């Protein structure tokens, strides 16, 4: 992995993505005792950062590969991102979604032209159906978080954040499948100066925290968390990157996630999903360690079911 690869990726996807705004809140700064800069990927096309990785993966396919389409499995944000990126590039998208996926995210996939295939809500069922579709159609499989093209694409959000605020002490991002934090940590490794990367993760789905403790990929005992985007596990490609470049994973309770989500909605007047609130919750929980520092937070997305809010 070279620094130039990240720069090339950013140039490649720039025509298809938004350079999202970086916002801050005086009240939140005061509450934490630090200067906090929110990279608002909830304003990204498709409503989440995943548009970056999906676009980078699809734009590099050959014309023959594009003609056969792409296939992925996702509970929501990557499903929408692949559907929208594929539509932008004239490619057919086959999307495997668990029956438990939020209706708002299924609707988004349909609106972006993705073809939905529903399966049982297990990773095994998701992968099996995606493999079957790839075999039948010749579509290229895109993994939501465990392919280098996807990981590098996700890292471009942190690059943009560091261009705007070059002297950050730390960057926080949520940890689900590990693609965002792996990409972010690579971006910080190559472009950050004295900047460290922290992950936020629910206690109810803390596989990344336990994986860093044990040194090997751990599964989830439970996925009983409101942060539906973080219920997946790490992969063999992103885990070594996380192990090498991430300082720590901070776990938070469901109550802390809801409190942080509400704080952003009320004080910043922006819509963020529970998975995004995990990062602010993690910073609040450990705020004593970041007094007087400049901290970036990747707001991963804003795809919320408004009929099912936790407050």
Q: For residue 245, what pLDDT is reported?
A: 97
pLDDT bucket at 249, cuts 50 / 70 / 90: very high
Average pLDDT over residues 57-68: 97
Average pLDDT over residues 63-89: 94
307 within some domain:
no
Claim to verify: residue 128 and residue 74 sit in the same structural domain: yes
User: Which CATH number belongs to the domain containing residue 257 in this structure?
Assistant: 3.40.50.1100
Q: For residue 84, what pLDDT is reported?
A: 96
First to last CA, the chain: 43
Q: For residue 292, what pLDDT is reported?
A: 98
117 within some domain:
yes
**Cβ burial 220-236 (10 Å sphere, 16+ → b, else e):** beebebbbbbbbbbbbe
Q: For residue 1, what pLDDT is reported?
A: 62
304 within some domain:
no
Q: Which range, of 94-98, 100-104, 115-119, 184-188, averages the lowest pLDDT?
A: 100-104
Taking the complete model, does pTM exceed 0.85, yes or no? yes
50 is catalytic: yes
Q: Which range, of 104-113, 183-192, 257-266, averages the lowest pLDDT?
A: 104-113
pLDDT in tens, 129-188: 999 999 999 999 999 999 999 999 999 999 999 999 999 999 999 999 999 999 999 999
User: What does the angle CA 17 – CA 18 – CA 19 come to, to the nearest 5 degrees?
Assistant: 120
Domain boundary among 130, 148, 166: 148
Q: Residue 301 phi/psi, 5° resolution?
A: -175, 170
Average pLDDT over residues 282-309: 95
Is residue 142 within 8 Å of 57, Cβ to Cβ? yes
Average pLDDT over residues 3-31: 97
Q: For residue 200, what pLDDT is reported?
A: 98
Is residue 258 within 8 Å of 282, Cβ to Cβ? no
308 within some domain:
no
Claim to verify: residue 280 and residue 211 sit in the same structural domain: yes
Q: For residue 196, what pLDDT is reported?
A: 98
Q: For residue 38, what pLDDT is reported?
A: 98
Claim to verify: residue 87 and residue 23 sit in the same structural domain: no
pLDDT bucket at 208, cuts 50 / 70 / 90: very high
Domain boundary among 128, 148, 168: 148
More confident residue, 71 or 77: 71
Domain boundary among 126, 148, 170: 148
More confident residue, 76 or 151: 151
Q: Could you list the beta-strand ranges (E) of 75-230.
A: 93-98, 115-119, 140-141, 170-174, 196-202
How many structural domains are present in the chain?
A: 2
Percent of all residues in the chain with a pLDDT value above 90, rounded to a whole number: 87
Catalytic member of 74, 75, 83, 275? 75
Claim to verify: residue 75 and residue 108 sit in the same structural domain: yes
pLDDT in tens, 18-43: 999 999 999 999 999 999 999 999 99
User: What does the angle CA 25 – CA 251 – CA 192 come to, to the nearest 5 degrees?
Assistant: 60
Q: Within a 10 A sphere around the Cβ of 34, how many other Cβ atoms? A: 20
284 within some domain:
yes
Catalytic member of 35, 39, 50, 300? 50
Claim to verify: residue 219 and residue 283 sit in the same structural domain: yes
More confident residue, 196 or 1: 196
Percent of all residues in the chain with a pLDDT value above 70, rounded to a whole number: 100
87 within some domain:
yes
295 within some domain:
yes
Claim to verify: residue 122 and residue 216 sit in the same structural domain: no
What residue numbers bound the domain in which 142 lies?
A: 50-148
Q: For residue 66, what pLDDT is reported?
A: 97
């Amino acid at each position: 992995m070279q620094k130039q690869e990240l720069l090339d990726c950013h140039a490649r996807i720039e025509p298809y993505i938004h350079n999202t705004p970086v916002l801050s809140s005086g009240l939140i700064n005061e509450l934490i005792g630090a200067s906090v800069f929110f990279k608002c990927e909830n304003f990204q096309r498709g409503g989440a950062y995943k548009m970056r990785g999906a676009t980078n993966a699809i734009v590099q396919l050959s014309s023959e590969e594009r003609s056969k389409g792409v296939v992925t499995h996702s509970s929501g944000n990557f499903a929408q991102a692949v559907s929208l990126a594929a539509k932008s590039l004239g490619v057919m998208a086959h999307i495997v979604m668990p029956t438990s996926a939020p209706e708002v995210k299924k609707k988004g996939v349909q609106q972006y032209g993705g073809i939905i295939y529903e399966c049982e809500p297990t990773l095994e069922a998701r992968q099996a159906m995606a493999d079957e579709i790839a075999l039948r159609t010749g579509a290229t499989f895109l993994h939501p978080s465990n392919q280098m093209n996807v990981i590098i694409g996700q890292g471009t959000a942190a690059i943009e954040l560091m261009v705007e605020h070059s002297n950050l002490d730390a960057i926080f991002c949520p940890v689900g499948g590990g693609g965002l934090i792996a990409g972010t940590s690579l971006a910080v490794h190559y472009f950050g100066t004295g900047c460290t990367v922290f992950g936020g993760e629910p206690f109810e789905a803390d596989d990344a925290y336990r994986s860093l403790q044990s040194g090997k990929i751990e599964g989830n005992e439970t996925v009983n968390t409101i942060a539906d985007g973080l219920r997946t596990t790490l992969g063999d490609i992103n885990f070594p990157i996380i192990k090498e470049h991430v300082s720590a994973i901070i776990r938070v309770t469901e109550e802390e996630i809801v409190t942080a989500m509400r704080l952003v909605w009320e004080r910043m007047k922006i819509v963020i999903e529970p998975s995004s609130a995990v990062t602010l919750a993690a910073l609040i929980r450990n705020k004593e360690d970041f007094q007087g520092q400049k901290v970036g937070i990747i707001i991963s997305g804003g795809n919320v079911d408004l009929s099912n809010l936790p407050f």
